[in-house]
Amino acid sequence: GSIGKDGYRHYMEKELHEHPLVIGQTLQRMVDPASRRVMLPEMPFDLASVPRAVITACGSAFYAGMIGRYWLEDIARLPVDIDVASEMRYRNPPLTAGSLGLLISQSGETADTLAALRSLREKAVHILSVLNVEHSTMARESDVVLGTVAGPEISVASTKAFTAQLTVLACLSIAAARARGTLDEAGEDALVSALLDLPSRAAEVFTQGPAIRRMAQIVVEARDVLYLGRGSMFPVAMEGALKLKEITYIHAEAYAAGEMKHGPISLIDRTVPIVASAPYTPLFDKTLSNLQEAKARGGRLLVFTDTKGADRVSAIAEEMVVLPHVHDFVAPILQTIPVQMLAYEVAVLKGTDVDQPRNLAKSVTVE
């Protein structure tokens, strides 16, 4: 049947509110409730002996893949290469047979991602796809499909499918780590607990609506916005910048916070707001010192942090959004929600066509 907006102003707003539900549904599919262990479907290859993974995707799904790379490298000690599909399909990377091709797509139909899948297939790699539409072309051409249980996503700009992709990639990283002997049972318990805790922590993000709307009042006046993050927060910043461009038509650029001094610092003045994702992780101090550098040059700081980082952030930020503090591992999943909400609130202030932004398509089936 047709899907309504359930009283929300736009599909995007409705889908943003589905983050907690979708993360929970995806976890139900991947975590055994009794043993609290990650249980993936049977795979026709062994994650223990995969020499390398190649991740490829487009748009938001690519940023999910970048976070997946941090996890697979860090937890599972698996070497990872990653590129956007429109480049990967022409790159011809040297790959040992038996490597893993990891494709990520909401629709399962994106032309470049499908072409990249086929070019990886020619190299005799195993094809594992993380897909929301489980009866799609990519699903048919994959050796294994890990489904994101996000339900239909109507808004052209992806929201809930992205956190569902992250949830699947987190579970895959845990499973790969267990198979490769790089994560013991206590370590797995800690990561799984952090994941299972996420739906309720995600629901708490919506109490931050007023602070996000105050940030939106500043961003809507800007012509350019700089997004910053370090480590797994860098792809979160990229996702935030992409969302802002897509639905508000305001130029935004994401930078790894530590790289800012090698270029974009010259852009900073009062007219270029800086949106930073800075929860209290091991990289918090480093991120904060980058933000101080920006502030010293007249930058206005709009900072997403958490309860453990709030005191120190409040000393320098003009506006801040405080989320619950969670395990570092899942922090990028939680921190994605408010950066997407910020783009949405700016679009509402600008009065753009939020669900159908100009020039964009939900699924790009041409090269």
Nearer to ligand G6P, 47 or 161 (CB): 161
Query: Two tokens at 66?
Result: 């970048």
Could you say which DSSP state residue 340 is in? Answer: H
**CA 252 – CA 71 distance, rounded (Å):** 26
Task: Identify which range of 54-62, 273-281, 291-299, 335-343 contacts ligand G6P by CB under 6 A.
Answer: 54-62
- By CB under 6 A, residue 363 contacts ligand G6P: yes
Residue 295 annotated to the active site: no
**Which CB atom, from 132 or from 281, has the smaller least distance to ligand G6P?**
132
5, 123, 308, 362: the active-site residue: 362
**Interface pick for ligand G6P out of 84, 144, 316, 364 (rule CB under 6 A):** 364
Q: How far is CA 50 from CA 67, 99, 335, in A?
A: 19, 5, 31
Instruction: For residue 262, give the DSSP letter.
Output: G
Q: Which of 30, 61, 216, 283 binds ligand G6P (CB under 6 A)?
A: 61
Residue 157: CB minimum distance to ligand G6P, A: 5
Supply the DSSP symbol for 133: S
Identify which of residues 188 and 239 has a Cβ nearer to ligand G6P in the complex.
239
* x/- letters, 134..173, toward ligand G6P (CB under 6 A): ----------------------xxx---------------
**Spatial contact of 111 and 367, defined as CB atoms under 8 Å apart:** yes
Residue 154 or 196 with smaller CB distance to ligand G6P: 154
Residue 20 Cβ vs ligand G6P, minimum distance, rounded to whole Å: 21
Site for ligand G6P in 262-321 (CB under 6 A): none
Contacts by 285-289, CB closer than 8 A, 24 or more apart: 286/230, 286/257, 286/258, 287/228, 287/229, 287/230, 287/233, 287/257, 288/312, 288/313, 288/316
Strand partners, 276: 228, 303
Percent composition of the chain: helix, strand, coil (DSSP 3-state, to 5): 50, 15, 35
25 binds ligand G6P (CB under 6 A): no
Q: Among residues 106 and 173, whose Cβ is nearest to ligand G6P?
A: 106
Binding footprint of ligand G6P on the chain (CB under 6 A)? 58-61, 105-107, 110, 113, 156-158, 360, 362-364
Residues acting as catalytic residues: 362
